[in-house]
A = this chain, B = another copy of it.
């Protein structure tokens, strides 16, 4: 992850977004000369004529045929809810939700979160088509391969420049997955990827707002629509990704073309996918992991513990050094809260960062007994944890790679525990268990709708 610090950034820009927004919201109606107003009507009339004139053109027919596939709207499941919407909107909303907690998955070579755009688009198309589970799994593997290979070719320059790489490669993965599920020909698939290449989503400035999870959702939708358009004969450049004014050279100065077909069909990028065990920034995962492991191994309760000492990389306190968080969001930036939660609850999922929990007296009391020291010599991936017990024991663990890293992947049991933590509050424990089973058997399912019907509220 060598980053290019040369990418220029001007932090002194005026508040352009606000200036334009205030102008749009506040400028008086017809607050301009008659000439301007006349030009507006001429512009409108000219636009209207151009649009009507093309109403029977093959371009219009293809666009309308793709749009017609979205009707009638109750087509696909919104996960965890009772609403059903058209497949494009299902892909969008499911993609948004899957990244809302920033708790999903990471292709560590590119920090792409690949399932958000790819699985969200694929499941919607598969549900509508009644695809088999095998077809869905195939589409997810291939779609993730496409997004991550493009990511490999442009990372890190593209990310450093400001793109949220999950959304700016995800529409290609989503298009690929949907093309596969719709059984598009090679030629149509070129077009699907080509149309998607005009729709990269997301800049990093949005981090911390709802528009961050918007990115995988919008990418899922864009990829899905690209595949539908291609199915109906809509055309794009056959070199939309690689041409001099194609996507990759337009949005990245690094284009390592060899990454596209290096061991293509032999090495699959999904093999490098990882899953977050803790619903917070990855930098404090080793500390949480160490605390949880010691507490579990020695069956510690809060009362057993005198003091917890962490030795960590300087970044940990720089990013997550908040001593006294008051809300769940603040707690995600507190190594103290996170470690206390790991010990008390044996996990640090989204629920353990709830507002109410952060201010619970027992949580606050244990949090205050956590102490952290920095050591520049310790690796970012590591943490050194010592728990001093009231009975005089000193328990020590050095975590070299946290749970959830490629070196120490989450086990299926870990993933099931995480799944229950997320799904039980929404659909109940029994449905969560049934869904885990359905995912495990997905490759054998005759129709993915057995799964989507379980995933609806």
Contact = CB atoms under 8 A, between A and B. Distances in A.
Contacts of A275: 42-43, 46
A399 interface: no
Contacts of A83: 64, 68
A306 to B, nearest CB: 35
Contacts of A209: 194, 235-237
A19 interface: yes
Interface in A205-241: 205-206, 208-211, 213-215, 217-218, 222, 229, 234-241
B35 A271 contact: yes
A59 interface: yes
Contact of A47 (B24, B119, B150, B163): B119
B439 A45 contact: yes
Please state the number of chain copies in the assembly. 2
A5 interface: no
Contacts of A179: 21, 24-25
B53 A350 contact: yes
State which size class the interface on A falls in: 35 or more
Contacts of A419: 45-46, 48-49
Contacts of A105: 43, 46-47
A129 interface: no
A284 interface: no
A27 interface: yes
A68 to B, nearest CB: 8
Interface string A157-185: 00001111001000010001001100011
B412 A42 contact: yes
B214 A198 contact: yes
A162 B54 contact: no
A23 B172 CA distance: 13
Nearest to A136: B44
A135 B415 CA distance: 53
Contacts of A200: 200
Interface stretch (A288-296, A309-317, A389-397, A420-428): A420-428
Interface string A16-55: 1111111111110111100111011111111111111111
Interface in A81-105: 81, 83, 85, 89, 92-94, 96-101, 103-105
A253 interface: yes
Contacts of A85: 67, 71
Interface in A70-124: 70-73, 78-81, 83, 85, 89, 92-94, 96-101, 103-105, 114-116, 119-120
A245 B215 CA distance: 15
A323 interface: no
A125 interface: no
Interface stretch (A257-265, A337-345, A355-363, A373-381): A257-265
B146 A20 contact: yes
Contacts of A418: 46, 49
Given A60-B93, A140-B40, A260-B14, A53 B270 contact: no
A280 interface: no
Given A89-B67, A217-B63, A211 B186 contact: no
A2 interface: no
Contact of A239 (B17, B213, B436): B17
Given A27-B265, A56-B426, A93-B60, A50 B197 contact: no
B239 A50 contact: no
Which of A21, A241, A436 has the largest count of B CB atoms less than 10 A from its CB?
Answer: A21
- Which 5 pairs of residues, A with B, have the shortest CB-CB distance? A55-B80, A53-B422, A162-B250, A9-B244, A47-B115
A255 interface: yes
Given A59-B210, A79-B48, A249 B17 contact: no
A209 B100 CA distance: 36
B13 A257 contact: yes
B46 A15 contact: no
A208 B286 CA distance: 53
Contact of A204 (B16, B96, B245): B245
A427 B49 CA distance: 11
Nearest to A258: B14
Nearest to A46: B275
Contacts of A36: 141, 268, 270-271
